[in-house]
Amino acid sequence: MAEGSSIRWPEQYAPAKCPVHVRNALDIAAPPEVIWAWLIRAQLWPSWYPNSANVRFISGPQPDLDLGTKFRWRTFGVTIDSTVMEFVPPERIAWDAHAAGINGYHAFLIQRTGSCHVVTEETQKGWLAQLNNVFRPNRMHQQHQIWLEALSRKAIGGMPPQV
């Protein structure tokens, strides 16, 4: 794993090796276990994060993500195939992302502070990733901020419902 931030990057997705790298962070006044519960309940993402849709598990236990879970979902108008590559409850989760023209890695880090400091970082490469970065350079950063703010609202409200 490549170093350079608190995220444990697989070598091929290290920020220095990818033309697209976005980092967002937010302090959330909720316990890490509750934040974690909302993050791993992926099938609920579309109900609170508007840039996600059609989350379907391909393999792995349900209703929560776990190490090795394969899932398909739609984000930024593209259907993505992902596999959970890192899973350390309630501190770290990361998945890869593959679609035509995009290969990426998206990680969340939950750090215990006075509240919780949540970091999300993503790297991408591929022709479509580069094209999106040229024509909409702030889009991913903006959407990840929306994701963190929505996650904060949900986590402050308590545990997610069962699906």
Sorted by where each begins, the domain ranges of the chain are: 17-156
Q: What is the pLDDT of residue 130?
A: 81
Please count the other Cβ atoms lying within 10 Å of the Cβ belonging to residue 151.
23
Q: What is the pLDDT of residue 1?
A: 45
Q: What is the pLDDT of residue 115?
A: 86
Q: What is the pLDDT of residue 127?
A: 85
Residue written as tokens 């998945």?
95
Q: Is 58 left (phi over 0), alpha (psi -120 to 50) or beta?
A: alpha
Buried b (16+ CB within 10 A) or exposed e, 29-65: ebbbebbbbbbbbbbbbbeebebbeebebeeeeeebb
Q: What is the pLDDT of residue 131?
A: 82
Q: What is the pLDDT of residue 117?
A: 96
Domain 17-156 CATH superfamily: START domain (3.30.530.20)
Q: What is the pLDDT of residue 13?
A: 97
Q: Which segments in the chain show pLDDT lower than 50?
A: 1-4
pTM of the predicted structure, to 2 decimals: 0.93
Three-state SS for 36?
Answer: helix
The residues with which 26 forms a beta bridge, in sequence order, are 118
Burial of 127 (0-12, 13-18, 19+ CB in 10 A): exposed
